[in-house]
Amino acid sequence: MAARLVKRCTCLLREAAHLAPAPAPAASPVGWLRITRAAHKTLTSSATSPSSHFRGSLTELVEKEPMFTPYPEPQEVDRLIEKATRPEQLLELLGRDHHLYPNHAALILIHLSRLLSKKPEDKTSLIQDARFQQLLHLVNSQLSLIWHGTLVKLLRSLYKLALPEGSKELQSVEQEVRWRLRRLKYKHLAFLAEFCTASMQEQHSQDLLAELLVHLERRWTEIEDGRMVVAIMTKAGHLSESLMNRLEDKCLELVEQFGPDELRKVLVTLAAQSRRSVPLLRAVSYHLVQKPFPLTKHVLLDLAYAYGKLSFQQTQVSQRLATDLLPLVPSLTPSEVARCVKSFAFLKWLNLPLFEALAQVSLAWTFQASAGNCCLDWEKPV
């Protein structure tokens, strides 16, 4: 723990030193004091809100990544690409007197796929457009100059655009990604695995996914973000036994950073794969008991299901689940009541106030149903 804290402080001081302006020699102590205060403020905010950096999905993490371009400052075409609201506006950029860098052509394709995701019926006409083919040719001729993050987004965009599997441009981008797998950041590998898993029925996704799983397993020590390890465990953990073992070890290391949603996803994933990892279950149970964060109805039901499915009984956790579910009983649906009862039955945990409330709700539903049938019979003509 102390070693990780020192490493974190060192990284924050280094980042603050890069971001802060270089102080004058005479004022260097004051400058370093400001840097130290900034680093302390960042460290304090991250420590007091451990789940703040888990908001959003892995896709959002990569989408929000700043674009690195080979030119020193933003060009006018960057602004035009960002403000485009129709595919026609993006295609018109090819006919204007703009100097398009390789990243510009890739960004146009990425933005096209976002716009067409709202109107999938326009994909066929777009692919047949001569300007779109010109754009593909421009990207294909300059693939080696496109930056890593943009290349990863470009591949996903081409998949979304539903290009023919034998498309030369699609195969070139796939091959370029394969050549760069060792140089890509781990979050890019996880991002690729996430959308390749979603389209596993396609052969090109299966081939790329097989290579990604190998790299994800070999470089698992590079994971430093709890959201990432949870996303990989959820999306691709079931595809590789050895990768899942590594991810469980990483979860044990990062579990103190998890929020309630991350803990829920870990337990549900373990339950779906029937993996009774006792050390990880004990660690998750400890943080569920010790941390005072609120648990919503869906999180509570999922946790009860996971513990019941894995037959892992922990007295304090079961008591907290029952106590937190008790005031939510009136808002439960019949299927949620049945699921709750079944989960606690698997746990062999009897909480009298909770089950009395569930019984009262069930009786109330039965009475309402009977009253409704009586009313229907009364209204029938004689």
Please spell the DSSP secondary structure of 275-314, one letter per residue.
---HHHHHHHHHHHHH------HHHHHHHHHHHHHTT---
Instruction: Give a yes or no: residue 221 inside a domain.
Output: no
Instruction: Give a yes or no: residue 126 inside a domain.
Output: yes
Which tens digits make up the pLDDT trace of 151-202? Answer: 999 999 988 888 876 788 888 998 999 999 999 999 899 888 888 887 665 6
Instruction: Give a yes or no: residue 157 inside a domain.
Output: yes
Which tens digits make up the pLDDT trace of 39-52? Answer: 333 333 333 333 33
Least confident of 13-27, 30-44, 136-150: 30-44
Instruction: Give a yes or no: residue 131 inside a domain.
Output: yes
Q: How much is the mean pLDDT over the chain?
A: 78
Of 131-135, 140-144, 158-162, 267-271, where does the model show the most confidence? 267-271
Instruction: Give a yes or no: residue 341 inside a domain.
Output: no
Average pLDDT over residues 356-372: 80
The pLDDT-based confidence of 82 (bands split at 50, 70, 90) is confident
Q: What is the pLDDT of residue 25?
A: 39
Instruction: Give a yes or no: residue 337 inside a domain.
Output: no
Provide the percentage of residues in the chain whose pLDDT is more than 70: 73
Give how far Cα 315 sits from Cα of 6, 322, 349, Å.
Answer: 36, 11, 9
The pLDDT-based confidence of 254 (bands split at 50, 70, 90) is very high
Instruction: Give a yes or no: residue 125 inside a domain.
Output: yes
pLDDT greater than 50 at residue 128: yes
Which structural domain range is residue 101 located in? Answer: 57-170
Q: What is the pLDDT of residue 91?
A: 84
Number of domains in the chain: 1
Instruction: Give a yes or no: residue 257 inside a domain.
Output: no
With CA atoms as reference, report the closest residue to 256 among 231, 281, 278, 283: 283
- Report residue 67 as tokens: 């674009």
